[in-house]
Amino acid sequence: MAQLCGDSIMVETNRLILRRWNEEDRPAFAEMNADPEVMKYFPTALSNAGSDALADRIEAGFAERGFGLWATELKASGAFIGFVGLHVPGFEAHFTPAVEVGWRLAKACWGNGYAHEGATAALDFGFNQLGLPEIVSFTSVHNQRSIRLMLRLDMTHNEADDFDHPNLPRDHWLCRHVLFSVQPSGTAASKHCQPKQVGTAPVTPLPTGPQ
């Protein structure tokens, strides 16, 4: 269920709360971003300063668009476990401008279905609340864990859409990326979240040009 909390939209699922970020999230986020397993398919792990800068950019995205990568916590314990949500890619490619669904969770939480549950809710929100015509997701061709999740989200893949990430050198082992996409008619009904808009929020479905 999506609900308005002040100027922020919070999404709840059976087991998760997707919400805006706070200062208390940052130490756990920095620890997660320094974990070589969590960051295996990114060019480098992040320092504390780099992790804080990423959190700042995420929060700036909320301020600009009204949606973003929500801080994700477990309902049962209130523990911060990472992020899940929607994001506008900041590079130019054949499929941009676009909105992507993304996630990054602490390794201790892997294997529990949290990423699938949160991403399903994010897709529901994007289609049912923002009216998006399409949502994409992408990752390195080597990242089989994320690719399997994209398939579980009923996203489709066309090899012709795969691309070299423009922010990486062509000879970098992570350069080649797969692109998945899904439209409203291609999504299964959420088993975890039934979005319901309460009030209004400053949401912008799609940018007018590459960001």
Q: What is the pLDDT along the chain (211 residues), one digit of tens a residue?
A: 655 444 567 899 999 999 999 999 999 999 999 999 999 999 999 999 999 999 999 999 999 999 999 999 999 999 999 999 999 999 999 999 999 999 999 999 999 999 999 999 999 999 999 999 999 999 999 999 999 999 999 999 999 999 999 999 999 999 999 999 999 975 443 433 443 332 233 333 333 232 2
- Cβ atoms 68, 95 nearer than 8 A: no
Q: What pLDDT does residue 9 have?
A: 75
Helix (H, G, I), strand (E, B) or coil at 33: helix
CA distances from 18 to 1, 103, 191, 205 (A): 10, 11, 16, 19
Ordered by start, the domain boundaries in the chain are 2-134
Please list, in sequence order, all residues whose beta carbon lies within 8 angstroms of the beta carbon of residue 87, skipping any fewer than 6 positions away: 61, 68, 69, 99, 100, 101, 102
Cα–Cα distance for residue pair 65/93, rounded to 1 Å: 21
Q: CATH code for 2-134?
A: 3.40.630.30
